[in-house]
Amino acid sequence: MQKDLNFINLIRDRHSIRNYTQYTLTDSDRAQILETVSGAVPLDDGIHLDWKIADAAPMGGSGLLYAECGTSDEELVEYGYRGEQSVLGLTAEGWGTCWYGMAHMPGSPCSIVFGKPGTPGVRSAVLGALSRGHTRKSLEQLVTGGIPADSSPLVRTIVESARLAPSAINRQSWSFEVVSDAQIVIKGDTARFPDLGICLANAMVTARQLAGKATVSRLSEGTYSIAW
């Protein structure tokens, strides 16, 4: 993971791209993309993910990024955790991306479509409406017990980055708890989709950017601590 990237702005500005211009990947593109992916910080070093690029992609994308992955909650969280870091890295390099649950490459829970962003059309509007992309829950709905009034702005920024994480049909199947000015707990659904890992990645890279460090720990199934 490139530590000099402005992850906060990337998270706030990024949106799922559903229209792409026709573009064929070069060998240099492939090398650059896989280098970006290899820089993702693992949550569990013991889980191996061999990311690959498939040429055939829906919505006119240039390729699909995917890896074989098991179905345990730890593996699905890992998939989202590393995949979202890759998405943010690709966004910084000018690629459009979209987590795509309907694209199942062999052994993968879902794939990431990427390519050169195109002009939004009717298809983009329809898919955006179906995914409820503009109806995310508020922090008040997601933070259990609310954010303490005396919390530092850093806490709110980290939780906001977690809130903005993409999820399947934008269901945001997670909740947050502010433990202290240096720790939050994120609880989420680990079934079927890697959404929880995506959310954890957003919080982690934001904490690293603001505090210079971040530790993500699994407390129990579907419950993780992020401390800085």
* Domain extents in the chain: 7-129, 139-227
Other beta carbons within 10 angstroms of residue 97's beta carbon come to 25
Query: Are the C-beta atoms of residues 102 and 51 closer than 8 Å to each other?
Result: no
Residue 25 Cα to chain centre, angstroms: 23
The alpha carbon dihedral of 127, 136, 39, 44 has a sign of negative
Three-state DSSP class for 68? coil
Return the ∠ at Cα 102 (arms to 99 and 108), rounded to 5°: 75
Average pLDDT over residues 25-38: 97
Give the helix/strand (H/E) hosting 129: helix 122-130
Tell me if domain 7-129 and domain 139-227 are identical in fold: yes
User: Per-residue pLDDT for 158 more than 80?
Assistant: yes
CATH number of 139-227: 3.40.109.30
User: Per-residue pLDDT for 91 more than 90?
Assistant: yes
Q: Which CATH number fits domain 7-129: 1.10.490.10, 3.40.50.11540, 3.40.109.10, 3.40.50.2300?
A: 3.40.109.10
Confidence of residue 174 (pLDDT cuts 50, 70, 90): very high
User: Per-residue pLDDT for 2 more than 80?
Assistant: no
Residue 161 tokens, joined: 């980055």
CA distance 47 to 51: 12
Share of the chain above pLDDT 70, in %: 92
User: From its phi and psi, is residue 39 left (phi > 0), alpha (psi between -120 and 50) or beta?
Assistant: alpha
Enumerate the β-bridge partners of residue 143: 176
Q: Which of 17-21, 46-50, 120-124 has the lowest mean pLDDT?
A: 120-124
Confidence of residue 130 (pLDDT cuts 50, 70, 90): very low
Q: What is the pTM of this model?
A: 0.92
Residue 105 tokens, joined: 């490459």
What pLDDT shows up at residue 63?
A: 97
What pLDDT shows up at residue 132?
A: 47
What pLDDT shows up at residue 70?
A: 94
